[in-house]
Each structure stands twice: as structure tokens, then as C-alpha cells.
Amino acid sequence: MINIEYFIKGALCSRKFDSPAIALGASFIAIGALLKNLGFTIQESIFSTVLTYALPGSLVMAESMLIGASLLNIFLAVWLVNSRLYPMTVSIMPLLKHESQPRWKYYLSCHFVAVSSWLILKGNYEEIEKKYRIDFWIGIGTATWLIAIFSTVLGYYAADFLNKDMIIGLTIVNPIYFMCAMIGVMKTIQLSSAIILGVILGPIFYFISPEWSVLIGGVTAGTLAYLIGEKYGN
């Protein structure tokens, strides 16, 4: 079924010193505390991270609940903010494809697509034989997912001991980590322009539509970067 050796290899990637697990853990501690303050029980908080496992989506859910949004509004807001997962999934699945592997592995393991696991895979997949990359990926995904669940529980119970400044400190960890990680991957003209244009266009489109800014900004920036890379990249 799943090759244990590669599964463990993937899972252990989260143990590296500069692994995205730190950012992931800190931000889900903040989520756990937030959910508790929103009136979630511990079971509901765990259920939420287990099923959603996407930070901006959980934040949007929490905010929508605070303003008393309808279910349809919550659905649309979460879908929009998490639609980045679509290009992210498309940009890793072809790396994991192998004809000997069953499809259910791909359909189930796409649940693990999140920034941290995605970055771990992007940074390590080349060392893994293509046949076993999906098992390696399932290992990465399981470990990061468990870290998120564990951190949610930790945050939930720590909520009473965390003051506002500490929570604010925890919430900045995630964007700062991924900002630095993004600067770190700017190695080709195409990727550098994709990231720089995304950083600029995302906030610009925010003035036109806050909800659609990430999606429209991302697609526009990505398309421009693709064209720039095709023209000047080689």
C-alpha cells in the first residue's frame, strides 16, 4: 500500500531545524486559542483543524462567525481565500505521478496540500525516486497535519495563559516565515517575478475587491511572470 520507508522519510522532513513546522505550529496555537475564544469546544476545534487544515480558511471562518455571516457567505469567503490551493495542488501532483500508484492516494493526499507541506515537498522531491514520491508526500502531509492538530489542542488549552501581545506575536510568525521562505526560493527569473509581482499586485487588487484580491492578483502576477520567464528566462 504505502511504502513505509519513504513515508517515514517524508514525515521526518518536519524535524529539520529550519522546517516550516515552526511556523505551522505557532500559527495553529493561535488558531486553537482563537477557536476557544469563539466558543468552540475542544472536540470542535480538533474537528476543524482535522478537516480543514488550512490556516487562512480557518481565520476567515472565525471572522465570518463573529460578524454572523450566513453559511453561504462563509462558504464563498473560505473558497475564495483557499482557492490558492488549486494551483498549488496542480503544481505538485505531476511531480508525484507514477503509473504504478493507485489514484486514491492522490485524491486523499491532496488534503495535505498547505503552504508548509508544499514548501517541504518542493525543497526535497528531487532526491526521491519518482515511484515513491507519493508515499514520501503522504509522510510529509501526515506529519505536518498532526503538528497542526497537536498545536490546535495546545493553543486551546493555553488560551487562558496567553495575553494579547503573545497571540499577536504568534500570528506574525506564519507570514514572516513564509515571506522569508519565498525570498529564499527566488532563484530563477520566472519564480522571482512571480513572487515580486504577487507581493505587489495582491495588495493593489485589495483596493478593488478585498475578497478577490488574492485570486485575481495571483493569477495576473503568475501569468505575467510566466511570460517574462518564457521570454527572458533562458
Partner 1 sequence: MAINIILIILVTSFATYISRFLGALTSEKIGETSKIYKWFNCVAYSTLAALISRILIFPSGDLSDVHYSLRIIVILLSILIFYVTKRNLVYPTVLSAIILAGLNGFAV
Interface with partner 1 in residues 57-116 (CB under 8 A): 57-63, 65, 71, 74-76, 78-79, 81-91, 93-95, 97, 106-107, 110-111, 113, 115
Rounded to whole angstroms, the Cα distance separating 118 from 93 reads 10
From 2-10, 143-151, 152-160, 180-188, give the range in contact with partner 1 by CB under 8 A.
180-188
- The DSSP 8-state label assigned to residue 3 in this structure reads -
- Residue closer to partner 1 (CB basis): 8 or 104: 104
Query: C-beta of 113: minimal distance to partner 1 in Å?
Result: 5
Q: Residue 177 carries which side chain, given as an amino acid letter?
A: Y
Query: C-beta of 228: minimal distance to partner 1 in Å?
Result: 9
Q: Does 123 bind partner 1 (CB under 8 A)?
A: no
Is-contact 6 139, C-beta < 8 A? yes
Helix ranges (H only) for the chain are: 4-12, 21-38, 42-52, 55-66, 71-82, 85-90, 93-96, 103-109, 115-124, 133-158, 164-184, 189-206, 213-232
Query: C-beta of 151: minimal distance to partner 1 in Å?
Result: 14
- Residue closer to partner 1 (CB basis): 8 or 97: 97
- Residue closer to partner 1 (CB basis): 5 or 180: 180
Rounded to whole angstroms, the Cα distance separating 118 from 121 reads 5
Is-contact 140 117, C-beta < 8 A? yes
Q: Does 184 bind partner 1 (CB under 8 A)?
A: yes
Q: Does 214 bind partner 1 (CB under 8 A)?
A: yes
Length of the chain: 234
Q: Does 2 bind partner 1 (CB under 8 A)?
A: no
Residue numbers 143-172 binding partner 1 by CB under 8 A: 164-172
How many residues bind to partner 1 according to rule CB under 8 A? 106
Cell numbers for 47: 474537528
Residue numbers 6-45 binding partner 1 by CB under 8 A: 17-18, 20, 22-23, 26, 30, 34, 39-41, 44
R_g of the chain computed on alpha carbons: 18
Rounded to whole angstroms, the Cα distance separating 77 from 152 reads 22
Query: C-beta of 181: minimal distance to partner 1 in Å?
Result: 6
Rounded to whole angstroms, the Cα distance separating 27 from 171 reads 6
Query: C-beta of 9: minimal distance to partner 1 in Å?
Result: 21
